[in-house]
């Protein structure tokens, strides 16, 4: 069954939910509710689907954080469909909007790999980048907990030596989840800390090394130069590492998260996205913009504050959770047409 068919069934309550789907359902409740309210407001202001309607639709979609390019594409395709099929019923137009968002999201993500890469031998090295305050250290701590619970030997590297308290914050996470942390004094050279961590990971047969980094985007040139230096040191010691460079973004910042993604992608080799705080925002549509405009896979999603609420990203469960209950089945019209025949 396609995602859009599942979304329609969800309106009638026919689609049973797995525990993972329930996580997404609950985590995306604010985004789903806000998106539905925006659509209802749009249709309340227009009696006909005319040129003004499509201009307002574009603004509505942009405000829902699906991205400028996505909004323009949906509006253009919907205009063509309205002309061909003479669609004017608000429920039918609303369903067409969501169906096109789903179709575009699926087509842009074709052959996308949302899994986290693992080393064939030796330690898997995952480098985390992102601006301060997005939940980078918390993400590292939660992922360390998961790997530790799976029986893996995990090591953390406190590479954010510039920010006051960052080293201690990661060390506290290490104590909390019972994993070791390689650290240096505040203001020390981050590259030297990473070198020590990589060396220890190799010598002591660690399975996973999670690397925290600084996030001072206001010093972009210096920051990106530092990240490049760290990557070179890792690659020199472990030739195929880092196996992932994950950019951590705060979903509550909406379009600012997209701007950050573009800036980091321009200057460092990002392999995937971690989207935090999805449960605390009405801006879940930013995932659509990241995939459709950045062509970067979301690999992890923060759906709550509990330790196990950092989830592997599941595109189908995400889309289902974002739009569930917003599309009505329309059997009455079909039945009437059949009767007339």
Numbered residues of the known binding site for GTP = 130-137, 212-216, 276-279
Beta bridge partners of 274: 248, 300
| Among 4, 32, 211, residue whose Cα is nearest residue 105 | 4
Is the separation of the CB atoms in 38 and 284 below 8 Å? no
Beta bridge partners of 300: 274, 312
Phi first, then psi, for residue 163 (nearest 5°) are: -90, 130
Residues annotated within a binding site = 130-137, 212-216, 276-279
End-to-end Cα separation, the chain, in angstroms:
29
Farthest-apart Cα atoms in the chain, separation: 81
Q: Are strands 180-182 and 208-212 parallel, antiparallel or unpaired?
A: unpaired
| Alpha-helix residue ranges (DSSP H) falling in the chain | 3-12, 19-27, 29-44, 51-63, 68-85, 90-108, 136-149, 166-177, 190-203, 220-237, 255-267, 286-289, 315-323, 331-340
Is the separation of the CB atoms in 300 and 312 below 8 Å? yes
Degrees to nearest 5, angle at CA 51 with 47 and 52: 65
Token pair, residue 10, equals 């969800």
- Indicate the helix (H) or strand (E) that contains 211: strand 208-212
């Amino acid at each position: 069954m396609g995602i859009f068919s599942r979304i329609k069934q969800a309106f009638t309550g026919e689609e049973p939910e797995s525990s993972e789907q329930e996580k997404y359902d609950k985590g995306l409740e604010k985004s789903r509710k806000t998106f539905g309210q925006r659509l209802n407001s749009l249709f309340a202001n227009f009696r006909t689907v005319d040129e003004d309607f499509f201009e307002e639709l574009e603004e509505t979609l942009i405000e829902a954080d699906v991205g400028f390019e996505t909004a323009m594409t949906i509006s253009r395709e919907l205009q063509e469909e309205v002309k061909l099929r003479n669609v004017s019923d608000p429920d039918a137009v609303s369903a067409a909007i969501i169906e096109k968002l789903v179709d575009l999201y699926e087509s842009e993500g074709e052959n996308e790999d949302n899994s986290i890469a693992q080393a064939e031998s030796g330690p898997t090295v995952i480098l985390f980048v992102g601006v301060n305050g997005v939940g980078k250290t918390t993400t590292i701590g939660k992922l360390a907990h998961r790997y530790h619970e799976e029986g893996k030997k995990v090591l953390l590297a406190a590479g954010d030596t510039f920010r006051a308290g960052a080293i201690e914050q990661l060390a506290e996470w290490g104590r909390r989840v019972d994993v070791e942390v390689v650290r240096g004094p505040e203001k020390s050279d981050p590259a030297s800390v990473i070198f020590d961590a990589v060396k220890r990971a190799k010598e002591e047969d660690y399975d996973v090394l999670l690397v925290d980094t600084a996030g001072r985007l206001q010093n972009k040139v210096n920051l990106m130069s530092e990240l490049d230096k760290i990557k070179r040191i890792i690659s020199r010691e472990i030739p195929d590492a880092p196996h992932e460079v994950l950019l951590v973004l705060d979903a509550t910042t909406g379009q600012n998260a997209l701007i950050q993604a573009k800036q980091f992608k321009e200057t460092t080799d990002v392999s995937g996205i971690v989207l935090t705080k999805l449960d605390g925002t009405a801006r879940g549509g930013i995932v659509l913009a990241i995939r459709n405009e950045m062509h970067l896979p979301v690999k992890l999603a923060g759906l709550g504050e509990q330790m196990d609420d950092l989830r592997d990203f599941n595109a189908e469960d995400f889309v289902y959770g974002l739009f569930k209950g917003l599309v009505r089945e329309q059997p009455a019209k079909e039945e009437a047409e059949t009767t007339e025949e």
